[in-house]
């Protein structure tokens, strides 16, 4: 299917809420809304839309293509088929103890961003943080100091659209760092293709690993379980401050208690049940288009009060150099890791990727619009599944298509009571402030 406008992508359930379409629209015709049970979605104002299709050109929901990896130097052959290009794999952590403690894993993403800020003359870091006024919602932020970066450490398991403010990178005086999920990084790369002057403006693109973004409904369920009324929350952390750390709410008017639950309870029992449809069709969970990607080395039992560790992959030569320079400059501690650590740590992500070809085949047969992927060897991966999982990838998808009515376009309605409409702030004023 050929898409002309971004609302068709939403109707066909292909949007994953990165926000890049809003940044690409010069006519400011796109407003983002966090629909509580769907995710962040663009709403097009038909009066302002000039039908230029810039929004469609940057959308990672429609298609994702790998260039051949052979221009990247010596990639690790055993990883290339199912984990994308990897030049080097390490385990490590931020040398700064506060960043290591506050970080989601070992604080590697923040430590590398800080190194670029302090030693590579980056002017800032485009990433996401909680909205100060409504802490259950996330917003794009441009951090320019250690304090700002530390305040925004930690995974936020709810919709977040860092690409909404890609214009801040264009406007910044020096190159910037970008941190986002794998699909956010794909959007960044597409935006770069559309705006080649941006190539000089990216100091480093960092991706976090991602098993799927839960809708905001999941966060509300956590609050319900903790007995907290949403309006009472001053701060909400999903993890970090320990490894993996607790999911924790700080209350506005009551310092005497901090309702919390373990990561296993919040992610395992609640959030993982609120995944977005589009994430089930994601081919890249480990940031294959980034310069560096960071995840959890979950390959061993964690001891009590264990300090955080990150699994770090250099995806490009530039990424490898910056990681090594950050180590020399004392920002990050590293030890080389056996590439097999990826499979042992992230088996579930591999399982999802292996199912993908079967899921897409069923969608094609049922004439449900599906994303187009080039260069992912999905069929080869699917062949590696046991027979029962092959059948499940086909049958499970068929069941969902029928029971959830995916053959029909989705009609999105915004409910002002429950959905969050992103404010229309000017880019300039945000980039100029702390
Ligand atoms: C939706 C989601 C799913 C995840 N699934 C996995 C998984 O399957 N396997 C795994 O190993 N790890 C997963 N993680 C965790 C994350 O990849 C790791 O914790 C990673 O190692 C980063 O840790 P760090 O200590 O280096 O990051 P930190 O130094 O704490 O920095 C985290 C950075 O991520 C940014 N960020 C946080 N949440 C989001 C978001 N929702 N969207 C965009 N940017 C964000 C922050 O702005 C910050 O810059 C997931 C995280 C999220 C948000
Ligand atoms: S660019 Fe991002 S937010 Fe816009 S439609 Fe595509 S996936 Fe959704
Ligand atoms: S699973 Fe894929 S599509 Fe979904 S949020 Fe993560 S990177 Fe994006």
CATH number of the domain where residue 184 is located:
3.40.640
Residues 93 and 182 in one domain: yes
* Cα 53 to ligand 1 centre (Å): 31
CA distances from 318 to 104, 239, 325, 405 (A): 24, 30, 11, 45
Q: Are 76 and 286 in contact (CB under 8 A)?
A: no
Residues 124 and 170 in one domain: yes
pLDDT recorded at residue 433: 45
Residues 205 and 116 in one domain: yes
Question: Which pTM does this prediction carry?
Answer: 0.97
Q: What is the pLDDT of residues 92-113, one digit of tens each?
A: 999 999 999 999 999 999 999 9
Residues 238 and 268 in one domain: yes
Residues lower than pLDDT 50 in the chain: 427-429, 432-434
What percent of the chain is helix, strand and coil (3-state, nearest 5)? 40, 20, 40
CA gap 384, 334 in Å, rounded: 33
Q: Where are the beta strands (DSSP E) in 70-212?
A: 88-94, 124-130, 138-143, 176-180, 202-208
Q: Whose CA is nearest to atom 8 of ligand 2?
A: 15
Q: Whose CA is nearest to atom 1 of ligand 3?
A: 212
Note the residue count of the chain: 434
Residues 262 and 282 in one domain: no
Tell me the CA end-to-end span of the chain in Å, nearest whole number: 43
pLDDT recorded at residue 1: 76
Pocket around ligand 2: residues whose beta carbon is below 6 Å from it? 6, 9, 15-21, 42, 58-61, 187
Residues 223 and 295 in one domain: no
Residues 283 and 195 in one domain: yes
CA gap 188, 105 in Å, rounded: 24
Which of 312, 320, 332 shows the shortest CA–CA distance to 74?
Answer: 320
184 within domain boundaries = yes
CA gap 382, 393 in Å, rounded: 9
CA gap 184, 94 in Å, rounded: 23
Q: Is the peptide bond before 254 cis (omega within 30 degrees of 0)?
A: no
231 is in which domain, residue-wise?
A: 216-274
12 within domain boundaries = no
Residues 237 and 339 in one domain: no
Pocket around ligand 1: residues whose beta carbon is below 6 Å from it? 103-110, 127-129, 152-157, 160, 162, 179-181, 184, 208-211, 213, 240, 294-296, 310, 346, 349
Residues 200 and 243 in one domain: no
Residue 381 CB: number of other CB atoms within 10 A?
A: 18
Residue 289 CB: number of other CB atoms within 10 A?
A: 26
Q: Are 96 and 304 in contact (CB under 8 A)?
A: no
393 within domain boundaries = no
Residues 185 and 116 in one domain: yes
Examine the fold and report which residue of 230, 257, 274 is the final residue of a domain before the chain moves on. 274
- Nearest 5°: phi and psi at 275? -65, 155
Pocket around ligand 3: residues whose beta carbon is below 6 Å from it? 16, 181-183, 210, 212-213, 278-279, 282, 285
Helix (H, G, I), strand (E, B), or coil: what is residue 124?
Answer: strand
CA gap 177, 116 in Å, rounded: 7
433 Cα distance to chain centroid: 25
Q: Please give the number of the atom of ligand 2 that sits closest to the Cα of 40.
A: 3
Which of 259, 264, 202, 201 shows the shortest CA–CA distance to 230?
Answer: 259
287 within domain boundaries = yes
**SS3 assignment for 201-247:** HEEEEEEECCCCCECHHHHHHHHHHHCCCHHHEEEEECCCCCCCCCE
233 within domain boundaries = yes
Starting at the earlier edge strand, list the strands of the sheet with 202-208.
138-143, 124-130, 176-180, 202-208, 292-295, 310-314, 88-94, 332-336
* Cα 88 to ligand 2 centre (Å): 31
Domains of the chain: total: 2
Q: Please give the number of the atom of ligand 1 that sits closest to the Cα of 349.
A: 8
Handedness of CA 236, 140, 188, 106 (dihedral sign): negative
- Alpha carbons within 13 angstroms on the beta-carbon side of residue 323 total 30
Tokens 């599906």 found at: 370
CA gap 375, 147 in Å, rounded: 40
Mutate to test the pocket of ligand 1, among 20, 83, 104, 147 (most ligand atoms within 8 A of CB): 104
* Cα 259 to ligand 3 centre (Å): 28
341 within domain boundaries = yes
CA gap 142, 176 in Å, rounded: 9
Q: Are 242 and 305 in contact (CB under 8 A)?
A: yes
Examine the fold and report which residue of 274, 291, 318 is the final residue of a domain before the chain moves on. 274
Residues 176 and 307 in one domain: yes
Q: What is the pLDDT of residues 153-162, one digit of tens each?
A: 999 999 999 9
Q: What is the pLDDT of residues 22-42, one digit of tens each?
A: 999 999 999 999 999 999 999
Show the tokens assigned to 191.
């935006």
58 within domain boundaries = no
Burial 7-16 (b: 16+ CB within 10 A, else e): bbbbbbbbbb
**Nearest-5° Cα angle at 31, 28 to 35:** 170
Residues 174 and 241 in one domain: no
* Cα 373 to ligand 3 centre (Å): 14
49 within domain boundaries = no
Which residues touch 310 (CB under 8 Å, ≥6 apart)? 91, 92, 93, 103, 105, 106, 107, 108, 109, 294, 295, 296, 297
User: What are 31's strand-pairing partners?
Assistant: 43
Examine the fold and report which residue of 300, 332, 347 is the final residue of a domain before the chain moves on. 347
Q: Please give the number of the atom of ligand 3 that sits closest to the Cα of 211.
A: 1
Q: Please give the number of the atom of ligand 2 that sits closest to the Cα of 30.
A: 4
């Amino acid at each position: 299917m050929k898409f002309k406008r971004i609302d068709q992508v939403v109707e066909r359930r292909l949007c994953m809420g990165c926000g890049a379409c809003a940044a690409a629209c010069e006519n400011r015709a796109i407003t983002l809304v966090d629909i509580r049970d769907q995710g962040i979605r663009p709403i097009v104002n038909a009066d302002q839309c000039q039908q230029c299709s810039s929004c469609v050109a940057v959308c990672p929901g429609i298609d994702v293509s790998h260039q051949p990896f052979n221009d990247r130097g010596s990639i690790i052959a055993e990883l290339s088929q199912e984990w994308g290009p990897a030049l080097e794999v390490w385990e490590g952590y931020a040398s700064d103890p506060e960043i290591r403690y506050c970080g989601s894993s070992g604080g590697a993403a923040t430590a590398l961003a800080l190194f670029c800020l302090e030693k590579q003359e980056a002017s800032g870091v485009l990433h996401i943080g909680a909205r100060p006024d409504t802490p259950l919602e996330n917003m794009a932020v441009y951090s320019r100091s250690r304090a700002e970066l530390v305040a925004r450490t930690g995974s936020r398991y709810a919709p977040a659209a860092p690409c909404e403010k890609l214009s801040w990178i264009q406007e910044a005086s020096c190159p910037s760092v970008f941190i986002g999920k794998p699909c956010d990084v794909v959007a960044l790369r597409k935006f770069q293709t559309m705006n080649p002057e941006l190539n000089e403006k990216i100091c480093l693109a960092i991706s976090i690993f991602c098993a799927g973004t839960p809708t905001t409904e999941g966060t509300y369920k956590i609050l319900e379980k903790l007995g907290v009324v949403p309006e009472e929350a001053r701060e909400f952390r999903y993890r970090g401050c320990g490894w993996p750390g607790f999911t924790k709410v700080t209350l506005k008017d009551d310092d005497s208690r901090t309702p919390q639950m373990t990561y296993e309870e919040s992610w395992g029992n609640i959030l993982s049940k609120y995944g977005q449809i589009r994430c089930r069709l994601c081919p890249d969970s480990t940031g294959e288009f980034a310069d560096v990607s960071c995840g959890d080395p979950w390959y061993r039992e964690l001891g009590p009060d264990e300090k955080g560790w990150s699994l770090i992959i250099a995806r490009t030569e530039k990424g490898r150099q910056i990681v090594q320079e950050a180590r020399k400059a004392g920002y990050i501690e590293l030890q080389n890791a056996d590439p097999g650590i990826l499979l042992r740590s992230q088996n579930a992500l591999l399982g999802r990727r292996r199912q993908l070809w079967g899921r897409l085949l069923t969608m094609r047969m049922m004439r449900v619009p599906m994303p187009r992927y080039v260069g992912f060897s999905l069929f080869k991966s699917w062949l590696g599944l046991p027979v029962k999982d092959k059948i499940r990838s086909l049958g499970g998808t068929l069941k969902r298509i029928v029971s959830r009515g995916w053959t029909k376009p989705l009609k999105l309605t915004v409910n002002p009571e429950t959905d969050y409409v992103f404010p229309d702030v000017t880019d300039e004023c945000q980039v100029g402030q702390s």
